[in-house]
Structure 1
């Protein structure tokens, strides 16, 4: 009876701890809500969704650029774009922020709940807050945000199932099908399932052939069910264009490797983790080590994928760490007498949970009712576009990469934009990069001729500006802190 009571109190306190962490993270995200719209891709992700809602069709060819118009292009993250667009239609950019924060809140709850199943509350809070803070670089109004709660739940359930030597829950197939329609990272689900399956095999060996067969069937079904999307196999193939290292990878910061000189916090965290592993001599299974190394490789190789190591490794390692270090574990904490605060929380957990959940909805409603947030001037080029409309500038534009999203949103065909996973390849990105070098002037001149460029929208610090000042017939027509416009008077 005592053990049952202790377990029930543990679940009650865990629930309050998880909800409290969620509320804290939510409040922080709303306070710094403008950061969630800092990515230039926020613009075109919403616009693509709006066009799908308006046309009731999914795109199969590019209609947003003048350089690759008509080339094959699929909105492989169509459902995520539709969700963002629906939020925009209802509440404007505040709605986009709210649905983004909601996805992070759900991810935070799932993460904290599974951590709290291994760690005592104070350790759970410390780990959850640390992880969500360091993973915040990917908190942005893009379809990726909807994959975060899915990948955390997918990983937690599969590794827990393997640890318990149980067959994988086949309802997860519906989850990865949803994931495949939300964001291209669903292929990571295959890798996670494979490692979890190996972990089961390492634990059970061949003593449970029926369960092993279920793991094999589950693994085979994973790629098959992800074909349930508007594009079929194309959605999977599109994810490998970047993984294969296309030319855009070297040109875009989010695909760059960890730079210890600039990514100081990430380096410090990594060093702390390595030091902790060495000093404590924590023992991990070879399957966990393989997962650690795989996600660490992604952490070091691509800034974009640092969140995988940050979010998933704690979930995978938490049970083993808690088992080896009793001072951190939930089980040890459950054996202790509850203090006054803990008894109050357990006794009134329903009311407290209701207050926290009500507070979460109140914060969201208040934000939607009073916020006027919108993407910043760094990506909007609002003054320059207002000038272009006033002057009725027409024809093909040459734009800086970070202005591609706002041009798409405002119905202006781009020279280049953020859809470099499928477009702007075959030497195009490399030529664009060369324009910003000392040898770039002839490349710029050829580009203007080949693409019949009549005006340019550039960031104020764009390295091509001196070349435009030297080109015959070109003159600066507008400039502000963030953008300049050049027009061809010929």
Structure 2
């Protein structure tokens, strides 16, 4: 009877301690997420710097108004009628709804919400293996590194998904159990949000290899479930408006897309332009070498795969930043007790942690009120607008006032705003499916030394009526020399040329 009473008291104490630990962990995750949200709100205009922000919203608005999914290009005159699908249709509709509710403020607020959720989930999964203070600091650093991709593009909706997908699959492999079937609807959602969903297949394959390396064919039944899961992954992603076309479209960049050589985000990693990322890579490499952390060969291959993506195309740096710490956290927490979440949970909370645990409900309520009030104030007061470098606001106002007509020859970065304002483009950001067969290459060559004849050929071929160019466009000197053309408008961001 005495032993039973002692066991019951011990269980009560243990349960109370576990509850306090979870509260502390949750609050640390919330706090780092709120920090990220605060920085994004402070610099909200930076979320609308990309020229693609414009056309993603317009495509979403058009789908909402027409009730149909596009299958051919209707936004350019150079490739009008060519096959084109809105493979990121759901993300575009979400942005369109946000825009309909509150203009660009709504789009920005939605982007901030998804970015904040991403940071929270990253901290949550890291803190499962690393003690909260370590997870907090690491998440803060990683959130700074992914800053460049936090823009109002459909990719931002996939960041929480890829964190959950990776963490849950590798945890299932580590625990030597079958992959959770509830992840299948998640990758189906991913497939309707953004073309990167095919990375989900690769992540699942690496997690499956990790499971195989741990079990060494001793659990054939579970191995069969992993194989079945791998087969189901591509099948469920067919549940989208375009079926197999959505999967095939994801390979258009990887296999010979001519636009890759000319778009900044698809360029190889350049350390001279990314000091912070270079420092992170060097520190991470130093830490792995000095600490001699032991990881299995599947995770080592996964690390190298993500490093290869980063070095090949700098836009994939976020995969390395988010996923490599996620998969290594378990081994680091297990092999180094001073950062272990398990050891931390067995010890006593420090003063800060005790304060957080004892005031959990009041702090949570304060955070909730802060979030709601900040969102309300931001929505009603802030007047966020896309970057003037992509909007050509003054130039388009001039074009409207002077009734400029005919096909427009535009700089790449003005393609999005032209689509948004209902003007058919010469070229725009949809180069993953359009502006191929030598068109992109020829357009870029027209801006090189000796490119004037190419420019004149394009002007004739496409019956150009006027030109809208960014002030730094290398073709401006050629336009200054063209017979029958004159500069009609210019400001710090845009120049308009019209025929005499």
TM-score (norm 2): 0.97
2:426 aligns with 415
Q: Aligned ranges for residues 59-78 of structure 1 at < 5 Å?
A: 59-78=70-89
Please state if 1:236 is matched with 2:247.
yes
Distance 2:112 2:92 in 1: 15
What is the aligned counterpart of 1:137 among 144, 148, 173? 148
Q: Aligned ranges for residues 16-35 of structure 1 at < 5 Å?
A: 16-35=27-46
1:100 aligns with 111
Please state if 1:341 is matched with 2:341.
no
What is the aligned counterpart of 1:215 among 214, 226, 234? 226
Distance 1:242 1:357 in 2: 42
Please state if 1:379 is matched with 2:425.
no
2:203 aligns with 192
Quote how far apart the aligned CAs of 1:108 are. Answer: 1.2
2:4 aligns with none
Q: Deviations over 1:198-229 (max 9, x none)?
A: 11111112222211111111100000000000
1:295 aligns with 306
1:183 aligns with 194
Distance 1:201 1:360 in 2: 44
Quote how far apart the aligned CAs of 1:334 are. Answer: 2.1
What is the aligned counterpart of 2:291 among 276, 280, 292? 280
Quote how far apart the aligned CAs of 1:354 are. Answer: 2.1
1:330 aligns with 341
Structure 2 unaligned blocks of 5 or more: 1-10
Quote how far apart the aligned CAs of 1:4 are. Answer: 3.2
Distance 2:219 2:294 in 1: 25
Quote how far apart the aligned CAs of 1:330 are. Answer: 1.1
2:65 aligns with 54
Quote how far apart the aligned CAs of 1:53 are. Answer: 0.5
Distance 1:357 1:202 in 2: 44
Please state if 1:253 is matched with 2:259.
no
2:5 aligns with none
Please state if 1:151 is matched with 2:162.
yes
Contact kept, 8 Å, 1:26 with 1:360, in 2: the verdict is: no
Distance 1:259 1:95 in 2: 34
Distance 1:240 1:6 in 2: 50
SS in 2 for 1:419: coil
- Select between 140-149 and 329-338 the one with higher mean Cα deviation: 329-338
Contact kept, 8 Å, 1:27 with 1:363, in 2: the verdict is: no
Contact kept, 8 Å, 1:381 with 1:403, in 2: the verdict is: yes
2:438 aligns with 427
Q: Deviations over 1:169-213 (max 9, x none)?
A: 101100000000000000000000011011111111222221111
2:377 aligns with 366
Distance 2:66 2:269 in 1: 41
Distance 1:344 1:76 in 2: 48
Quote how far apart the aligned CAs of 1:153 are. Answer: 0.5
Quote how far apart the aligned CAs of 1:365 are. Answer: 1.4
Distance 1:285 1:354 in 2: 43
Quote how far apart the aligned CAs of 1:410 are. Answer: 0.4
- Select between 276-285 and 177-186 the one with higher mean Cα deviation: 276-285
TM-score (norm 1): 0.98
What is the aligned counterpart of 2:180 among 169, 189, 198? 169
1:447 aligns with 458
Distance 1:488 1:329 in 2: 70
Distance 1:183 1:251 in 2: 22
Quote how far apart the aligned CAs of 1:257 are. Answer: 0.7
Distance 2:182 2:119 in 1: 22
Distance 2:302 2:247 in 1: 22
Distance 1:214 1:24 in 2: 41
Please state if 1:81 is matched with 2:92.
yes
Distance 1:331 1:5 in 2: 16
Distance 2:27 2:274 in 1: 34
Quote how far apart the aligned CAs of 1:303 are. Answer: 1.3
Contact kept, 8 Å, 1:458 with 1:484, in 2: the verdict is: yes
